Chain A
C-alpha cells in the first residue's frame, strides 16, 4: 500500500520536480526512493574526498549532517540512495558542487505527505470494573491502532470528583508497551502504594477508599503515524478498600464441564484478577497432556472461561495455576505485594504452580 503510494508520488516528483541547472544541462531528479544527478560526466573513480564532496543530500535545514546513504553510477548518472526509507513530512535538499568550480546546483524535494486521518481509539481498559482497590497496581490500556511512545504521561489523567487532575498518580517516565504498541501498561506509583515508604506516609495511596474518580485519556494522543486519536476516553470508577489478601486458588470455584461437550470450564475467583496474567498463567491439563482451547475473561476479571478445541473426555483434569498470578493490587498466590514482616513471617509459597483437580461430569 505504502509502496504504491510512494510510487505514485515518485512519478509526480519525477515529472514535476526536475531541477534546472544553472549551467550546462545538469539536473537533479528524485524518483521517490533515490536522488539522481543527471547530465554530469561522472568520473571513473570517486573523488579523493568521496562522492559526498560533490553530491550530497540533506534532510532538513540548519547545521546538520548529510543524509546517510550510498552512491552508485547507473546509466551514466550518479545516484544517491538513502540508507533508510523515504519518510513522510521530510524536506530534502540535494546539492551538486561542480569539482571544477562554479555555482552549485541545488534542488528541493518533499517526501510523501503525512496521512492525517485519525484512526486510533481506546478499545478497552483493565481493570474493567467500577471499583478499584486503593492499592491498585497496574492499568492496561488497549488501543485499536499502534500508538506513539513518549506521550502517556501527559495524556492519561485521573480526575477527582470535581474534575480536577490529580498529580503523582502514576509512576512517571515509564511506558511499558507490548511489541505492537497497542497495549500500554501503566503502574500506579508504587512508592505511594507500599506501606511504610515516605511517599505512602506523606501522600497516602493514589486512590482513596470511597472517593469517586474519572480516568481520562486525551484525544490528542498521537498514534504511531503522528496523528491524534478519533476520540478521547473516559471511565468513571470508585476507590475501594485496599486488597490485602493474597489470591488463594483453593478458594476458587471450578465448575467442571460435561463429558462430550465443548462447553467452557468456568473458574470463579474471589476477587478480580490481573487481566493480562489471566491470558497465560492458567492452563488446563488432562491425562493426555496440555489441553488446547480459547480463554475468555468475564465478570470484570472475576471469571475465567476455557473452551477446549476438542470436546471434553471422561476423566480427570487439572487446572494448573502459576503462583505468579496477581490480583489487581499485585498480590500473588501466597504473597502480598508488600509483606508485613511482623505479621506474615510464616506465609510463604515454595512451589511455582498449584494444581486444582476436576473431573468432567
Chain B
C-alpha cells in the first residue's frame, strides 16, 4: 500500500484538512450493472453498505480486506416507502436458524431506487460468524440476498494473496467503517486495529483489476493549534451552494467539511471543522436533508443520541479557530444543534426520500458511554424527517 507523508507547515495555523492524494480524477457515472460477471460472492464479513448506480450494492468486508459490488437487480422505481418491522433481528435469526442473540446487524441502507431496505450483518458473533445480507421490503417481508450466485465484482484493499492462509491469521485489520459513492468513485473510510492513522480510500467504479484506489492521508486540526492524523468514522456527500463536499466525522468527534472538487492528484486541500460533537461519543451515521427551506443534518451517535444540526450556514460558517470551552451540558462547539430526545437507541439512520428516514432502533445494556449487547429486539422504524 502506498503511503504518503504530509509535511505540516507554519501556515497550518488555520483549521486545515490537508489531503495528500493520488486519486484518479472524478469519473463519469458507472456503466450499467449488466457488465458484472455471475458467481459466488466471496465475502468473509459483511459490514458497511453503500448504494451505487442502478441497484448496485457495495459491501465492505473488513475481514476479507475487500469491497464487493453486487448487482441486486432491484431496480423497480418507487417514490417512497414506509417500513416498520418489530424485531427485525428475530426475523433474521429465524431465517438463518440461530437464536436472536447470535445476530449482529452492521449497517442499514435503503435502495434509493426501489426503497427496499438492505441490512448487512453476521450469523454469529465470533470468528466463525457467517456474513449476511438481507432485504426488507415495504410489506416488512425479510428475505435473504443470496451470495451463491450473483452478479458481482470485487476489489481487494490488501496486498495479501488470497491463498495465503497466514494472511487470515494476520492480526492487523482495517475495519471499514463507512462508504459512499460520489462522482463515480467509492469512498471507503476505515480504522486500523494497530496503527493510528487516517484511512480514506477512493476507488473508481467500475472496479478495475489491481486498482485498489488511492489512500488519502487526512489531517484535521482543531482550534487552530493541534493536529492529528485521525481516522474518519462516518461521512456523507453534501452540496453547498452547488459545490460538492464530503462531511466527515472523526473518531475524536470533530465534523469537517472537505470540498470534493479539490480531491485531485497531489492536492492539499483546506477543509473546515464545523462542529465538535462532544466527549465519549462516536458519530455512527449522518444524513443531510432539507425541510421548509432550511438545511439540516441528522447525526446518530453512539452515546449522545440523535442530533439535528442546523446546516443553513455551512457555506459560510466560521471555522472553529480558538479553544472554546463550551457551556455544559452541551459540551460542543461550532454548528448549533438540537438533540432529539424522543429518538432513543438509534443505531443507524438511512435516507428513504426527501421527507422520510429509516431508523434501526434498539436498546443496549451497559452505561451510555460503555454500551454492551442489545437489551431487546431491534426494530426498523420509518419517521418523517424532523
Residue in contact with B279 in the complex, picked from A147, A179, A198, A344, CB distance below 8 Å: A198
Minimum CB–CB distance from B343 to chain A (whole Å) comes to: 17
In the complex, what residues of A have CB within 8 A of residue B171's CB?
178-180, 183, 276, 279
Tell me which of A83, A87, A138, A198 contacts B332 (CB under 8 A).
Answer: A198
Is A199 within 8 A of B128, CB to CB?
Answer: no
Residues of A within 8 A of B (CB-CB), count: 91
Chain B positions 249-289 with a Cβ under 8 Å from a chain A Cβ = 251-254, 276, 278-282, 284
Cα distance, A149 to B10, chains bound together (Å): 43
> CA separation between A274 and B194, bound complex, in Å?
9
**Which residues of A have CB within 8 Å of B282?**
171-174
Interchain CA distance A345-B224 in the complex, whole Å: 13
By a CB distance below 8 angstroms, the chain B residues around A358 are none
A229 at the interface (CB under 8 A from B): no
The majority secondary structure among interface residues of chain B is loop
Inter-subunit contact B141/A191 (CB<8 Å): no
Query: A328 → chain B, closest Cβ, in Å?
Result: 11
Residues 187-233 of B at the A interface (beta carbon under 8 Å) = 191-197, 221-230, 233
CA distance A172 to B284 in the complex (A): 11
Query: A268 to B225, alpha carbons, bound, how many Å?
Result: 33
Contact partner of B225 (CB less than 8 A), chosen from A146, A190, A341, is: A341
The interface residues of chain A, by DSSP majority, are classed as loop
**Least Cβ distance of A236 to chain B in Å?**
20
Q: Does A225 contact B (CB under 8 A)?
A: yes
* Interface status of B155 (Cβ within 8 A of chain A): no
Q: How far is the CB of B197 from chain A (nearest CB, A)?
A: 7
Which stretch (B69-77, B98-106, B240-248, B352-360) binds chain A? B98-106
Residues of B within 8 A of A (CB): 3, 5, 7-10, 12-13, 44, 63, 87, 90-91, 93-102, 104, 123-128, 130, 141-144, 168-173, 175, 191-197, 221-230, 233, 251-254, 276, 278-282, 284, 302-303, 323-326, 328, 331-333, 365-374
- In the assembly, what is the distance between CA of A276 and CA of B325, in Å? 36
Contact B196 A138 (CB under 8 A): yes
In contact, A341 and B227 (Cβ under 8 angstroms): yes
Contacts of A67 in B (CB 8 A): 94-97
| A154 contacts B by Cβ under 8 Å | yes
> A155 within 8 Å of B by Cβ?
yes
Residue of A whose beta carbon sits closest to that of B122: A149
| B365–A197 touching, CB < 8 Å | no
Give every chain B residue within 8 A of A245 (Cβ-Cβ): none
CA distance A201 to B193 in the complex (A): 27
**Nearest neighbor of B191 in chain A, beta-carbon distance:** A176
Q: Which residue of B lies closest to A201 (CB)?
A: B325
- What string of 1s and 0s marks CB contacts (under 8 Å) between A137-179 and chain B? 1100000001111110111110000000001101111101111
Q: Which residues of chain A have a CB within 8 Å of any CB of chain B?
A: 58-60, 62-68, 82-87, 89-90, 92, 137-138, 146-151, 153-157, 167-168, 170-174, 176-181, 183, 185, 187, 189-199, 201-203, 222-226, 274, 276-277, 279-280, 323-324, 326, 330, 332, 335, 337-342, 344-345, 348-352
The smallest beta-carbon distance between A338 and chain B, in angstroms, is: 4
| Nearest residue, chain A, Cβ from B2 | A352
Asked if A168 and B280 make an inter-chain contact with CB atoms under 8 angstroms apart, the answer reads yes
Give 15 new A-B contacts, CB below 8 A, not counting A147-B126, A179-B44, A191-B252.
Answer: A67-B97, A87-B98, A149-B104, A150-B373, A179-B169, A189-B279, A195-B226, A196-B224, A198-B278, A324-B197, A326-B196, A332-B195, A341-B225, A344-B8, A348-B8
A197 touches B254 (CB 8 A): yes
Return chain A residues, CB-CB under 8 Å to B100.
Answer: 60
Pairs across A and B, CB under 8 Å, 16 listed? A62-B87, A68-B95, A68-B96, A83-B144, A137-B196, A138-B196, A148-B126, A153-B370, A154-B371, A172-B281, A197-B253, A199-B331, A222-B125, A326-B196, A339-B228, A345-B12
